[in-house]
Amino acid sequence: MSRLHFVFMTLAGLWCSFAIHAQDLYSAKSTEAFANYLFTKGDYGYAAEEYSRLLFMHPSDDSVLIRLSQSYRKLNQYERACQVITEHRTPNGRSQGVEKELLSALIFQKDSMAFVSALGRFRHLDSSTLLRSQVEFSILTRHWEVARDFVKSSQVSNFPWSPVYQENIEAVLAFRPKKPWLASVYSAIIPGTGKIYSNNVKEGITSFLFVGALAYQSYRGFHKRGTKSFTGWLYGGLSFGFYLGNIYGAQQSAKNYNARNLNRIYHEVDQTIYSRH
């Protein structure tokens, strides 16, 4: 009887162990499938929660670690993306995919000290990848002269990806911003010309005609009734007010021109980098 009892308990234990293992496997697969679905739908916050749970169950799964970091990057939480990979990193590094993901997070984090200190700790990335990351980091941190000199250096210029970055950097450096003070001076001399200088021709012509019309009405009033002319003082005051506004508007127009065009150029340059990561 004791032997039968022993056999029964052994079989029961094996069955329970198999059932628990099967349940864990099913749970892990379901969690990963659900996390991938959330990531695909753009619910990166909820996807990160599911990937975190999955990584806790399987801390050695590189694909889950990469997806978790990517979820944080999609949320612009670059420091957290770096942190989660660093916490699960082994002394000899992990896979090439994990190191590439960490490198991407470091680039977008834009922390110079963290980026430079991490470069020497990669074990599975080739020199081309590391050099390219340094170019991209310089671009994203807007160190254009540094990026240009680096791309033109002998150690980088021979790589096939180098010309694209060189063209982007030259496009930024070739941009000539409008000078707000000069736009103000132009409009102070001739109303509206500061806005024309800032490529805002329509508003420049409008300002010129508006200030000119008010000044002319003021002149007519004073010409007819002298210094006692109410319309002369009224239109003169309005003309002077719009004249001052025209000077300030010219300055703002130059600033807006610079911001609009620089943002367009920066966007085109950044897209070259973002599309790769």
Cβ neighbours for 77, distance < 8 A, ≥ 6 positions apart: none
pLDDT tens profile 235-271: 778 878 888 888 899 999 999 999 999 999 999 889 9
190's enclosing H/E stretch is none
The two three-digit tokens of residue 162, written as one number: 């180098």
| Stretch 56-70: mean pLDDT | 91
If phi over 0 gives left and psi between -120 and 50 gives alpha, with beta otherwise, what is residue 243? alpha
pLDDT at 49: 92
Contact 57, 26 (CB under 8 A): no
Which of 27, 25, 24, 50 minimizes the C-alpha distance to 37? Answer: 50
Domain boundaries, the chain: 27-124, 126-174, 180-269
CA–CA separation, 41 vs 260, rounded Å?
32
Does position 38 have pLDDT exceeding 80, yes or no? yes
pLDDT tens profile 174-209: 999 999 999 999 998 989 899 999 998 888 888 888
Ordered alpha helix ranges (H), 42-119: 44-57, 62-74, 78-87, 96-109, 112-119
CA–CA separation, 63 vs 98, rounded Å?
8
Tell me the fold of 27-124: 1.25.40
